[in-house]
């Protein structure tokens, strides 16, 4: 997992930009819609929906918005149908990129995603061309400023709960789980009094592709352009750059 902190910092930058552009609630509503459509509108009986609702509340999404998305999915309100797709390709410098979308018009979304890659020295590829470079994992982030426990104590509790691995930095504890252990680990740590800055299932790259300043600048533009697309829910990549380059470009 080494190197993931640089990826995380870029993800944080992405999340901050999402919030600034006012896109978070709309994208979360789509996630809630799909989760409720697939597993039903009761979060107690639908762990996937429960997880997305927790994510929405962490982003301060109003309860009315959450309820409306569930009602649309369960037929209580008229709404469109969203389908989930992944697009795969290569960014500047050969960085592997996976794009998760929820769309009601696959042709429109495919054209827009392809345009973003082409405009930023990337190349949209076939399904499977980069997904083998990523592992699906549970990912939990605890803000160290919010908890007084030391690293050893948190690690012991995380491992006892069933976590696979933990990394630490000056700011956070980052905990990784297998997908089928994510909910039980999260619940066990919540019961122990921990709160999470991030709690999600995500795609973690197996290796990282370090880009120079010019390539990194183009890669960030690609990420920004994809994030501007309302259909794009998440972007996973194995891009990293040294701290000096990231600071210069941020």
pLDDT band, residue 55 (cuts 50/70/90) = confident
Assigned domain for 175 exists: yes
What is the pTM (predicted TM-score) of this model? 0.79
Please tell me the predicted confidence (pLDDT) of residue 132: 96
Same domain, 87 and 66: no
Establish if 30 belongs to a structural domain: yes
Mean pLDDT of 193-203: 88
Q: Which residues pair with 201 in a beta bridge?
A: 138
Tens-place pLDDT, residues 129-139: 999 999 999 99
CA distances in angstroms from 28 to 19, 143, 157, 242, listed in the order given: 12, 23, 30, 31
Residue 78 has pLDDT above 70, yes or no: no
> Are 187 and 125 in a shared domain?
no
Percent residues over pLDDT 70 in the chain:
90
CA distance 9 to 11: 5
- Is pLDDT above 50 for 2? no
d(CA 124, CA 76): 38
Residue 112: inside a domain = yes
78 found inside a domain: no
- Same structural domain for residues 117 and 155? no
Give the pLDDT of residue 107.
94
User: Which domain CATH number covers 34?
Assistant: 1.10.10.200
60 phi-psi bin (left φ>0, alpha ψ -120 to 50, beta other): left
Residue in the block written with tokens 């509108």:
41
Which of 25-29, 45-49, 187-191 reaches the highest mean pLDDT? 187-191
* Number of separate domains in the chain: 3
Asked if residue 244 and residue 157 are part of one domain, the reply reads: no
Residues 39 and 142 in one domain: no
Residue range of the domain that includes 242: 83-132+208-249
Same domain, 122 and 216: yes
The residue that leads in pLDDT, 25 or 22, is 25
Lowest mean pLDDT among 66-75, 134-143, 223-232: 66-75
| pLDDT, tens digit (0-9, with 9 covering 90-100), for 102-125 | 888 999 999 999 999 999 999 999
pLDDT at 101 over 70: yes
């Amino acid at each position: 997992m080494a190197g993931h902190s640089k990826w995380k910092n870029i993800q944080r930058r992405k999340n901050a930009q999402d919030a600034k552009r006012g896109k978070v609630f709309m994208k979360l509503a789509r996630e809630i819609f799909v989760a409720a459509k697939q597993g039903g509108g009761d979060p107690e009986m639908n762990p996937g929906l429960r997880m997305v609702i927790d994510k929405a509340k962490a982003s301060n999404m109003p309860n009315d918005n959450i309820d409306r998305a569930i009602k649309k999915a369960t037929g209580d309100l008229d709404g469109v149908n969203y389908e989930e797709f992944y697009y795969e390709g290569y960014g500047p410098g050969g960085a592997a990129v996976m794009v998760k979308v929820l769309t009601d018009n696959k042709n429109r979304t495919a054209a827009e995603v392809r345009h973003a890659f082409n405009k930023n020295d990337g190349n949209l590829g076939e399904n499977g061309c980069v997904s083998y470079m990523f592992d699906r994992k549970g990912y939990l982030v605890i803000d160290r400023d919010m908890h007084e426990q030391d690293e050893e104590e948190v690690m012991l509790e995380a491992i006892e709960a069933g976590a696979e691995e933990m990394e630490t930095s000056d700011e956070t504890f980052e905990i990784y789980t297998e997908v089928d252990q994510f909910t039980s680990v999260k619940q066990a740590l919540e019961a122990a009094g921990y709160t999470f800055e991030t709690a999600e299932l995500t795609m973690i790259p197996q290796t990282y592709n370090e880009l120079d300043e010019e390539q990194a600048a183009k890669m960030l533009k690609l990420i920004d352009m994809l994030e501007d697309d309302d259909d794009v829910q998440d972007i996973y990549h194995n891009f990293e750059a040294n701290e000096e380059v990231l600071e210069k470009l941020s």
